[in-house]
Amino acid sequence: MKLSQFKFNLPESLVANNPSEQRDEARLMVLHKDTGKIEHKIFKDILEYFDDQDVMILNNTKVFPARLYGNKEKTGATIEVFLLRELNKELRLWDVLVDPARKIRVGNKLYFGDDDLLVAEVVDNTTSRGRTIRFLFDGTDEEFRKNIEILGETPLPKYIKRKATAMDKERYQTIFAKHEGAVAAPTAGMHFSRELMKRLELKGINFAEVTLHVGLGTFRSVEVEDLTKHKMDSEQFIIEEKEAAIVNKALENKKRICAVGTTSMRAIESAVSSGKMLKPANDWTSKFIFPPYDFSIANSMITNFHTPESTLLMMVSAFGGYDYVKHAYEVALKEKYRFYSYGDAMLII
């Protein structure tokens, strides 16, 4: 497939800058693969499509406040530092993006907070905007994390044209987030409220949790027309034995297995055994899923409405069928569904 096949015009007005008032009251478009039918619902209606012993696979990664604003030594220029991942806990080495990059050189010191709560030194260049920095901090890891929490901002995607607020700290996160390490939220999971989870449990639906730490690569644009030439960024994922067992039991019993979000789908598709079962894993994946693709584990999927030409749209098209998903997006534009991280949801069954 070609990149240009995933192009569409998205009006700015349909990009959601804020979440729905209640998590489970976003709109839900339901796609029936067998009949080609499309339904328009509210997210909490998802209850109607699942039964006893069906399984939902959730990504329990937790977003940390990855966006810091600091000042450069001597000049005092304001610098944005986006924490990507911790490279070495003991040395407090981090892989980061800096903006404006042209001003940040190896050896520069950066100061964060009114009273220089944290100080960092640039130790290496990685990419044009990428740097490795070392935080010069003598306290405990707990104290260091607390300072990041104080100074850091919720890393809202750049297309959300406003500053992060206290509301985002709660809403740009799933209610089942546990393991810190993501710089972008697994957004399909953000539609689940505690009440809806309880109602699903009472109906007998099981939850299996996986962890995939979402990196900024999830927003990286595809720059090659021939999709086979695109390289994904690597992301760490973990699937525990007991969670794999929940999924495999449902597979054996031919139950509905739903991947909640593209990140859950990437994790499980990166850990398929030769017998087409889910295996435990603690690994990194750079798997790129685009049509045509034969899925092994999930037979349903919850996702949001994605960016034109994005790898996320490509995966959804592989799962739902290119023509069907293309048509569904045309309907979504006509019906004014809200797009991206804080937008509405789609269920493909």
At residue 194 the predicted structure's pLDDT band, cuts being 50, 70 and 90, is very high
pLDDT digits (tens, 9 = 90+) for 293-305: 999 999 999 999 9
Residue predicted with more confidence, 74 or 149: 149
Q: Give me the mean pLDDT over the 311-323 stretch.
A: 97
Q: Which two tokens stand for residue 250?
A: 């449902």
Q: Which of 91-105, 185-199, 240-254 has the lowest mean pLDDT?
A: 91-105
Encoded amino acid at 331, one letter: V
Number of Cβ atoms within 10 Å of the Cβ of 128: 8
State which CATH number among 3.40.50.2300, 3.40.1780.10, 3.30.360.10, 3.30.559.10 fits the domain covering 3-63+170-348. Answer: 3.40.1780.10
- pLDDT value at residue 218: 74
Residue 328: which H helix or E strand, with range?
Answer: helix 322-334
- pLDDT value at residue 75: 82
> According to CATH, where is 2.40.10.240 located in the chain?
67-153
- pLDDT value at residue 216: 76
- pLDDT value at residue 332: 98
At residue 76 the predicted structure's pLDDT band, cuts being 50, 70 and 90, is confident
Own/partner long-range contacts of 224-230 (Cβ < 8 Å, ≥24 apart)? 224/3, 225/2, 225/3, 225/4, 226/2, 226/3, 227/1, 227/2, 227/3, 227/288, 227/290, 227/314, 230/288, 230/311
Q: Where are any strands of DSSP class E within the chain?
A: 27-31, 38-42, 55-59, 61-63, 67-72, 78-88, 93-99, 109-112, 118-125, 130-135, 179-182, 206-212, 235-239, 257-260, 281-285, 300-304, 345-348
The C-alpha atoms of residue 27 and residue 42 are separated, in whole angstroms, by 4
The C-alpha atoms of residue 168 and residue 154 are separated, in whole angstroms, by 7
Contact (Cβ atoms closer than 8 angstroms) between residue 298 and residue 320: no
- pLDDT value at residue 158: 84
pLDDT at 318 over 80: yes
Q: Which two tokens stand for residue 154?
A: 């919720």
pLDDT at 239 over 80: yes
The C-alpha atoms of residue 156 and residue 17 are separated, in whole angstroms, by 10
Contact (Cβ atoms closer than 8 angstroms) between residue 289 and residue 317: no
Q: Which two tokens stand for residue 294?
A: 């034969």
Query: What phi and psi, each to the nearest 5 degrees, are found at residue 207?
Result: -115, 135
The C-alpha atoms of residue 337 and residue 242 are separated, in whole angstroms, by 37
Residue predicted with more confidence, 215 or 46: 46
pLDDT digits (tens, 9 = 90+) for 204-230: 999 999 999 998 777 778 999 999 999
- pLDDT value at residue 226: 96
> According to CATH, where is 3.40.1780.10 located in the chain?
3-63+170-348
Running DSSP on this structure, what letter comes out for residue 46? Answer: G
Please tell me the number of Cα atoms within 13 Å of 176 on its side-chain side.
Answer: 24
* The pairing of beta strand 27-31 with beta strand 345-348: parallel
Q: Residues 6 or more apart from 139 whose CB is under 8 A from it? A: none
- pLDDT value at residue 217: 75
- pLDDT value at residue 120: 95
Contact (Cβ atoms closer than 8 angstroms) between residue 71 and residue 61: no
pLDDT digits (tens, 9 = 90+) for 79-136: 999 999 899 999 999 999 999 888 898 999 999 998 888 999 999 988 778 899 999 9
- pLDDT value at residue 220: 77
- pLDDT value at residue 73: 82
Helix, strand, coil shares of the chain, percent, nearest 5, are 30, 30, 40
pLDDT at 49 over 90: yes
Q: Residues 6 or more apart from 125 whose CB is under 8 A from it? A: 106, 131, 132
Q: Residues 6 or more apart from 223 whose CB is under 8 A from it? A: 230
CATH 2.40.10.240 fits 67-153, yes or no: yes
The C-alpha atoms of residue 257 and residue 247 are separated, in whole angstroms, by 7
The C-alpha atoms of residue 295 and residue 217 are separated, in whole angstroms, by 22
Residue 19's closest CA among 153, 200, 170? 170
pTM over 0.85: yes
